[in-house]
Amino acid sequence: MTKSYTEESMMLESQNNTNWTDECHSSQDEHDTEKKNGAHETMHKDIEDDEDALNRLEDDEEEEEEEEEEDGDDTKPKRRGPKKKKMTKARLQRFKLRRMKANARERNRMHGLNDALESLRKVVPCYSKTQKLSKIETLRLAKNYIWALSEILRSGKSPDLMSFVQALCKGLSQPTTNLVAGCLQLNPRTFLPEQSQEIPPHMQTASASFSAHPYSYQTPGLPSPPYGTMDSSHIFHVKPHAYGSALEPFFETALTDCTSPSFDGPLSPPLSVNGNFSFKHEPSSEFEKNYAFTMHYQAAGLAGPQTHASLYASSTQRCDIPMENIMSYDGHSHHERVMNAQLNAIFHDS
DNA sequence: TAGGCCATCTGGTCCT
DNA sequence: AGGACCAGATGGCCTA
């Protein structure tokens, strides 16, 4: 875009600021309404209005083109150099037309992006219509989820539940962590020794967790549905305490530097080429060695109540979740149920 | 009231 | 030339 465009836009901004702002506000208001109603009708109307406006502008433009020819001004001295185009009405309107088209495209593009993000929200472990994850949290959770599942597939071993959860929630904000736990209808205290003792040992591994009844972990004081349901995927979202645990994890390296929200370390899935994951059983690089699973939940004496107890005993920022504030879990898609079934198979086979 | 999140507008850049 | 994409700016809404 040339500098003249910038000048034009500045002019336009000052001349039409009110109108443009009004358009923006009305559009945003309508978008809010649309969100509340859960319909796209308003958006379509918005776009139709834009198209009407564009058509009107195009009609006006044709008229202005004719006016422009008659507007030849011989009184001003001619300037040398490249002829600087006059900012005629027609040019202004053409600019406005371009801008309106570009704005409409940009709106649609962002709506498409948001739709895709909404789809992502539905397939990551925590999904609630009533309290959506923010965009950034959705992306972080999705990234952690992909990485964690990839590690499971690559290693072919059941992870320690707590470590898995910690890896999953790495870098997430505390509110998001709470929300995730809320979606699970789980209170982190469930993993305290006194509660854990009631849990059969075999239930304290991830694989057992996935095969357990959804409410097996429910603390006596916890409310019943409709606060939420728990299928296997929800187990992934328990986050008793995400940051800096003393727990030696299944996802050991995933827990490093968890205190930094901006931490964006090498937490990618092992390999993804053209959408197909390729897992190597032997770390072939220093990176893989660093990020390979270093232990299993039974090998390091981490499984069981003591592990969880030590985890929480060392926690200074305990994640106590008032269950009355927990959002309801609104259900997962068929796709996710299929995915959960596959996960169950993975955990049971390993 | 400050901060987080969001939608939108805008101009620049790259690509077809 | 026009569209896609991106990042900065802006203002509204909500919550602690």
* Residue A35 beta carbon within 7 A of nucleic strand C: no
Query: Could you report the per-residue pLDDT of A302-343, keeping only the tens digit for each?
Result: 233 233 323 222 333 333 333 333 333 344 445 455 455 555
Answer whether A114's CB lies under 8 Å from A312's CB: no
User: How far is Cα A13 from Cα A10, in angstroms, rounded to an integer?
Assistant: 5
User: How far is Cα A175 from Cα A49, in angstroms, rounded to an integer?
Assistant: 39
What are the residues facing A272 on neighbouring strands? A277
Query: Which nucleotide in the DNA or RNA is closest to residue A98, CA to C1'?
Result: C2
Rounded (5°) CA angle A163-A125-A235: 45
* Residue A131 beta carbon within 7 A of nucleic strand B: no
**Which residues have C-beta within 8 Å of that of residue A173, sequence separation ≥ 6?**
A137, A261
Answer whether A157's CB lies under 8 Å from A296's CB: yes
Q: What percentage of chain A reaches a pLDDT higher than 90?
A: 2
Answer whether A85's CB lies under 8 Å from A91's CB: yes
pLDDT of residue A85: 59
* Residue A31 beta carbon within 7 A of nucleic strand C: no
Query: Which nucleotide in the DNA or RNA is closest to residue A31, CA to C1'?
Result: B7
* Residues 98-117 of chain A in contact with strand C via CB under 7 angstroms: 98, 101-102, 105-106, 109
Q: Residue A331 — left, alpha, or beta (φ > 0 → left; ψ -120 to 50 → alpha)?
A: left
* Residue A45 beta carbon within 7 A of nucleic strand C: no
Query: Could you report the per-residue pLDDT of A127-147, keeping only the tens digit for each?
Result: 777 778 889 889 998 998 898
Alpha-helical segments (H) within chain A: 3-37, 41-70, 89-123, 135-155, 161-169, 174-184, 193-196, 206-211, 232-235, 286-291, 305-313, 334-349
Amino acid whose CA is nearest the C1' of C10: A21
Q: Identify the residue whose tokens are 């299993």.
A: A296
pLDDT of residue A166: 79
Answer whether A348's CB lies under 8 Å from A214's CB: no
* Residue A85 beta carbon within 7 A of nucleic strand C: no
Which of A19-33, A39-53, A111-125, A285-299 is modeled with the greatest confidence? Answer: A111-125
State, as a whole number of angstroms, the distance between the CA of A200 and the C1' of B12.
Answer: 62
State, as a whole number of angstroms, the distance between the CA of A118 and the C1' of C13.
Answer: 20
Query: Which nucleotide in the DNA or RNA is closest to residue A173, CA to C1'?
Result: B4
* Residue A174 beta carbon within 7 A of nucleic strand B: no
Quick one: average pLDDT of A75-97? 65
pTM given for the model: 0.54
Query: Could you report the per-residue pLDDT of A147-183, keeping only the tens digit for each?
Result: 888 988 988 887 777 777 777 888 888 777 777 666 6
pLDDT of residue A297: 26
pLDDT of residue A267: 39
pLDDT of residue A129: 72
**Chain C nucleotides with an atom closer than 7 Å to a protein C-beta:** 2-7, 11-13
Instruction: Annotate A139-196 with DSSP letters as a single string.
Output: HHHHHHHHHHHHHHHHHTSPPPHHHHHHHHHTT--HHHHHHHHHHHT--GGGGSHHHH
pLDDT of residue A52: 57
